Amino acid sequence: MPVIKYPRIRDPLFYEWDKKAQKCGLRHTIYAVNGDQYTGEWLDNLKHGKGTQIWKNTGAIYSGDWKFGKRDGYGSYSILDPATKEYKRVYTGWWENDQRGGRGVFFYPNGESYEGEWSNGLRSGWGKMQYKDGSVYEGQWLEDQHNGQGVLQLPNGNRYEGGWKDGKKHGPGKYLYLDKGQQLEGIWVADIPKCGVLVDFGRDNAPAPTQYPLPEIELHDPARVLAEARAMFDDSNN
């Protein structure tokens, strides 16, 4: 009785070639068509794990964690200085879905720096910003602006402590004029003090005090005035 042999059923060759081409695990440097290069770990043909990416057009480099093809986890991003040909650190910290997310430090080209929390690539949460003119803000942020409670310290030592909204002083707060030895406590709306009580504060030790001390006002209780102002402000925001 003749034996009939049937050909073994197998997938087309391109399926096998594609499977072998899938990048998974630790790989040496992989070059993209545009010249970018990546050295690190892969999973299902996606950058996943620890790895370093270099962008050809800008010379920028990222070294850190990846998750399914995106920067996710802890990592550092640096750019190439065209003048010195050395790498300058831009951001070191946590990433989420290819954007700054979590806690990290960012260095701006003009010399300013921010250390604190991020969300969707923007300063959001608690953070400290050091400005080029010497000012320092430490407090709450929302979408890259001062929002909530925070302290702004000016180069001359004066400072504001209180509420902020959309990057401006807003709500109850104190402004300390340490150079003059005075303190203004009151209510701010969009960076403008609407009402408050101005008193001497450390006037004897101030470097540039006013010529005469402020007279004492006995007709009104400052604490009561501020309490009534705060109540009016809260009612207007409810």
Task: Tell me, yes or no, whether 195 lies in a domain.
Answer: yes
CB 123 within 8 A of CB 130: no
Task: Give the 3-state DSSP-derived string for the chain, with helices as H, strands as E and coil as C.
Answer: CCCCCCCCCCCCHHHHHHHHHCCCEEEEEEECCCCCEEEEEEECCEEEEEEEEECCCCCCEEEEEEECCEEEEEEEEEEECCCCCCEEEEEEEEEECCEEEEEEEEECCCCCEEEEEEECCEEEEEEEEECCCCCEEEEEEECCEEEEEEEEECCCCCEEEEEEECCEEEEEEEEEECCCCEEEEEEEECCEEEEEEEEECCHHHCCCCCCCCCCCCCCCCHHHHHHHHHHHHHHHCC
Q: Domain check: are 119 and 175 in the same one?
A: yes
Q: Can you give the CATH number for the domain in which 146 is found?
A: 2.20.110.10
Residue 116 and residue 184 share a domain = yes
- Range of weakest confidence among 40-54, 81-95, 158-172, 173-187: 173-187
Please check whether residues 69 and 119 belong to one and the same domain. no
Query: How many angstroms separate the CA atoms of 23 and 69, rounded?
Result: 12
Mean pLDDT calculated for residue range 105-115: 96
Mean pLDDT of 107-115: 96
Residue 100 located in a structural domain: no
CA atoms of 5 and 19, how far apart (whole Å): 29
Q: Tens of pLDDT along 42-70?
A: 998 899 999 999 999 999 999 999 999 99
Instruction: Give, in degrees to the nearest 5, the angle at Cα 191 between 151 and 211.
Output: 80
Is residue 140 in a domain?
yes
The CA distance from 135 to 150, in Å, is 13
pLDDT(156) > 70 = yes
- Let me know if residue 68 belongs to a domain: yes
End-to-end distance of the chain based on CA atoms, in angstroms?
96
**Among the listed residues 179, 226, 222, the one whose alpha carbon sits nearest the alpha carbon of residue 202:** 179
Is the CA virtual torsion 112, 117, 59, 88 positive or negative? positive
Total of domains in the chain: 2
153-159 mean pLDDT: 93
Where does the pLDDT of residue 14 fall: very low under 50, low under 70, confident under 90, or very high at 90 and above? very low
According to the model, what pLDDT value does residue 21 have? 46
pLDDT, position 5:
54
In a shared domain, residues 122 and 74: no
For residue 214, being part of any structural domain is answered with no
Name residue 113's amino acid: S
- The residue with greater pLDDT, 139 or 193, is 139
Domain span at residue 69 reads 12-80
pLDDT tens readout for residues 184-237: 899 999 999 988 888 867 666 766 666 555 556 554 555 555 565 566 556 666
pLDDT value for 219: 44
pLDDT at 145 > cutoff 80: yes
Cα 106 to Cα 78: distance, rounded to the nearest angstrom: 10
Residue 213, token pair as written in the block: 């001390």
pLDDT of the residue at 228 = 58
- Please check whether residues 135 and 61 belong to one and the same domain: no
What is the pLDDT, as a whole number, of residue 17?
42
Mean pLDDT estimate for the chain: 84
